[in-house]
Every structure is written in structure tokens, then in C-alpha cells.
Amino acid sequence: MIHIPDLANATPIQILFCILSIVTLATAFLTIYSRNPIHSAIYLVICFFSIAGHYLLLNAQFLAIVHVIVYAGAIMILFLFTVMLMNLNKENEVYKPRVTRLGAIILFCLMCLVLIAIFINSKPIADGSYEVTGQDYQSIKVLGKVLLNEYMVPFEFASVLLLVAMIGAVLLSKKEKLEK
């Protein structure tokens, strides 16, 4: 069961967390929902900044700065230039075939099932206590060891996900021939 904190007795950190969560979810939804690709890119940048705010709340300043530089900086600039150069905001654009839309729906359903399975199998902290290892995860050396040893498989999955997103962007931007 999801526990919603009582905002009347909440600390400023909890209130800030709730505000950042609302901003993150709203801008993520607007990124997908917006028809204008430039607006989608702006919503995505706001979403990235709010996620960086979550990193700051977790006292992970290095990850927050790297997140802003890499995602909100480099990737979004690349995305915006791609969108602006390809001029994807045309009204006479050909709609994608039904097979493509069906594939997207099936992939979306599979991803939802995976996320639900992850949430069901996750270990909730019932008593509110955390396991403390005593390591400083702000150290870049420790962070690198943790990412490349303990979290190597999720790290590689993220790399594959970025590769698939890049291939998807290329396929979406490919001009299709108009059928007469």
C-alpha cells in the first residue's frame, strides 16, 4: 500500500520532495502527450532538472551535476537540433502504419508488466530503517566501483536502452514515401 505523507506535519524536505515528484510526473506526461516536438523537448528538460533535484535531496551532488550536464545539456541539445533540422512539425506528415503502432502498444504493455513485476518484488522498508554500509557514495572512486561492479548489468541495460532510443529516433525521423 502506498503511504501518502501528512503534509500538515511534513518537514520542508518532504514538501520539496512532493513538489519535485509532482513536477517530474507532470512534465514526463506532458513530454509524451505534447504534439509539438519543441514543447516535448522543453518538458523533458524540466523533467531532467526535477530529477536532478531528487538527487540533491538524496545528498548526491555529483550525480545531480552529471545528470544536468549529460542529459539536460548534451542530449537535449542534440535532440533539439535534430528536431529543428528535420522540421518534424509538419501537418502533412504520413501516419505510421498499423503494424508500427501495434508494435509500440505491445512494447508498452511489456514494459508495464516488467515495471509492475519490479514493484511487486521490491523489498519495502517496513520499519523505516536503512542498512548503512559506512561507505561515502559521494566519492567518485567509490561510485565508479559500485556502478561497474554491483550494478554492472543495470548499467549495461541503460546503455542498450539509450542505443535503442537512438535507433528509434532515427527510424522515426526517416521520411516515408507518400502513397498516391
Length of the chain: 180
- CA quadruple 51, 53, 54, 60: dihedral positive or negative? positive
Specify burial of residue 55 (Cβ count, 10 A radius: 0-12, 13-18, 19+).
middle
Cβ proximity of 92 and 52 under 8 Å: no
pTM, whole model, 2 decimals?
Answer: 0.57
Q: pLDDT for 50-87, tens place per residue?
A: 999 999 998 888 888 888 888 877 777 777 776 766 66
Q: Is the confidence at residue 20, as pLDDT, over 90?
A: yes
Residue 58 has what DSSP assignment? T
**Residue showing cell 503494424:** 99
Q: pLDDT for 21-42, tens place per residue?
A: 999 999 988 888 887 877 888 8
Q: Is the confidence at residue 146, as pLDDT, over 90?
A: no
List, in order of start, the domains of the chain with CATH numbers.
Answer: 11-93 (1.20.120.1200)
Q: pLDDT for 149-175, tens place per residue?
A: 888 888 788 888 878 877 777 777 666
